[in-house]
Amino acid sequence: MKKAFPILSLLAVGLFFIGLISSDPFGSRTNVSNDNAINPVVPQTDAVVKFADSMNAVNDEAGLRTRGWKPKRGPLHGPIGSTFFFQGNATVFPAFEGPTTGYVGANFNATTGSNTIDLWLISPVVNGAAGDTISFYERSPTGSTFPDSIRVHWASNGDTVPGSGSWVELGKFKTTTTGTWAERRFVLPSAGATGRFAINYRVANGGPSGVNSDYIGLDLIRLLGPAAGPSILPDVLYYKFEQNPAPLLTPNCAIPPAGTNPAPVQLHTLGSGGQFDSCLVGIGTTNARIATGWNCNLANGSWTISFWVNNLVDMNPTYLFGDAGSTSFRCFYGGAAGVNNILLRGPMTDILIPCPAGPQVFHMVYDGTNVIIYRNGALISTNPRAINMPTGTGFYVGGYSSGFGLSGRMDEFRLIRRALTPAEVAAQWNSDLGGCGLVGITQNNNQIPNLYSLSQNYPNPFNPVTNIKFALPNTGLVKLVVFDILGREVSTLVNEVRTAGNYTVDFDASSLSSGVYFYRIESGNFTDTKKMLLVK
């Protein structure tokens, strides 16, 4: 018996290690119940979504990098194990929302033996403001007895080196093991127009032989800005320059629209290569412009004008917009502005604005005291001015009076009769506001449905407005998208977290041509697609 005991002991140890080697490298270590969540409550914001990744795409290292993420190992990481960040494993637990594997996972096999795990998931560049909130969902296997921990960091300068002095640790917590996903929120202490945040999976004494580390999941990662003020949908002019069956017309998507709708496109064309889809393609000749049919009547009130431009050519000069009757209120590129500049001119002292090569988004905000200039959401200059414009004789976009019109590309021209706040500028400069595609979304009643559902649109066929109803038994991210028959996305109707309930979306297809379209909803593990017919 004395000889048999060591033999049996060696056999048991051997079977244990064989079990470890043959198990799923992307799996979990245990299923015993234990709850280690210790994260403090962080004040929430009713917010504008400034950045979001549902993690419903490919989440291995290559897939994450294609979306701008920087998955890296930190300076404390031990020997490299058999796994890194990987696609969520639905056999361990399903995703918070979307496909069952639609989350990013990491586990104890990130290192060997009983060493430290130090994995950094560094975000794409974000325009963060002090007080913005990092939000994401996390969990570990139900009842895990191998504790996992996560730290959250912020680098206002956009650093991508884990552990460098640029990173500020915002907090840490042990992952949730109660069988549900938990939302974690952390507030940015400082602004950074090109900042990055990092979710750091760090566990001491981890790995296959360690007493800590099991398996973590991360889902629906967002950066939330402060709540927006009144609607940021333009209330005077909003030209998306979407291609439509009448290429010499372009809808005004503002609510309510001013002037002629749709507006005639004179000499210019509509083509691909815009900020989000198609755009205005300028030919750089005299009288080329959009005749809005609106006479500028901003007087001495506040206003915001914004637009996207690319590939501008100096026609000495190239006019972007203006109304000659409002004491020659206009904006142009080149000419008197010089190389790589645009000039805002009118009943005020000129404002010179740098315009580097490549795509740029400009916001010109007049608050009654200053003209504030933003480029790509970042503050460029504040210019004290007192402006009082007389009523104009015709406001043009992509041109001005009889001068040389746009030469290059323009998209997302927006004119709002109020001054946007810095938070609103940051939230909308790289966001498609919808407009023509979405008339409204309403919650029908307070009853909570038992099942997810997507109803057939009514009326169908339709021209040009129809409504689409859907039901949500659970709160979660909802995405409702319209596609054409070639599978191209033509409108995003909903892309936000919605509470459980019954909803109706009014879809306005006035900018689309007749034909068959499809609409698809994704929420939680539910996906459904239906067909509709637009007849004009």
Torsion of CA 255, 259, 261, 267, to 10 degrees: -130
Residues 327 and 295 in one domain: yes
Residues 275 and 397 in one domain: yes
Count the domains in the chain. 3
* 3-class DSSP state of 513: coil
Domain boundary among 431, 453, 473: 431
Please choose, from the candidates 193, 105, 135, the residue with its C-alpha nearest in 3D space to the C-alpha of residue 477: 135
Q: Looking at the domain assignment, is residue 4 inside a domain?
A: no
* 3-class DSSP state of 401: coil
459: containing domain: 436-534
What's the first-to-final CA gap in the chain, in angstroms?
A: 91
Host H or E run for residue 51: strand 48-53
Host H or E run for residue 263: strand 263-266
Q: Looking at the domain assignment, is residue 53 inside a domain?
A: yes
CATH of the domain at 487: 2.60.40.2550
Whole-angstrom distance, CA of residue 203 vs CA of residue 148: 6
pLDDT of residue 246: 56
Q: E strands, 392-448, where?
A: 396-397, 407-416, 438-443
* 3-class DSSP state of 424: helix
Residues 137 and 255 in one domain: no
Amino acid at 206: G
Residues 331 and 361 in one domain: yes
pLDDT of residue 1: 37
**Per-residue H/E/C for 458-476:** ECCCECCEEEEEEEECCCE
Residues 274 and 196 in one domain: no
Please choose, from the candidates 348, 237, 372, 231, the residue with its C-alpha nearest in 3D space to the C-alpha of residue 300: 348
Q: Looking at the domain assignment, is residue 461 inside a domain?
A: yes
pLDDT of residue 15: 39
Residues 110 and 159 in one domain: yes
Please choose, from the candidates 28, 109, 51, 115, the residue with its C-alpha nearest in 3D space to the C-alpha of residue 78: 115
pLDDT of residue 446: 62
pLDDT of residue 24: 66
CATH of the domain at 27: 2.60.120.200
Domain boundary among 431, 446, 472: 431
What is the Cα gyration radius of the chain?
A: 27
Residues 349 and 257 in one domain: yes
Whole-angstrom distance, CA of residue 113 vs CA of residue 92: 22
pLDDT of residue 44: 38
Domain boundary among 225, 251, 270: 225
Q: Looking at the domain assignment, is residue 163 inside a domain?
A: yes
pTM, rounded to two decimals: 0.48
Each of the 536 residues of the chain gets a pLDDT tens digit; together they read 333 444 444 444 443 433 443 356 877 776 543 333 333 333 334 456 788 898 999 999 999 999 999 999 999 999 999 999 999 999 999 998 888 999 999 999 999 999 999 999 999 999 888 888 899 999 999 999 999 999 999 999 999 999 999 999 999 999 999 999 988 989 899 999 899 999 999 999 999 999 999 999 999 999 987 654 445 668 899 998 876 545 688 888 887 789 998 899 999 998 888 998 789 999 999 999 999 999 999 999 999 999 999 999 999 999 999 999 999 999 999 999 998 999 999 999 999 999 999 999 999 999 999 999 999 999 999 999 999 999 999 999 999 988 899 999 999 999 999 999 898 888 788 887 765 654 456 667 667 788 888 999 999 999 888 989 998 888 878 889 888 877 777 888 887 777 788 888 888 887 788 888 889 898 887 888 888 988 88
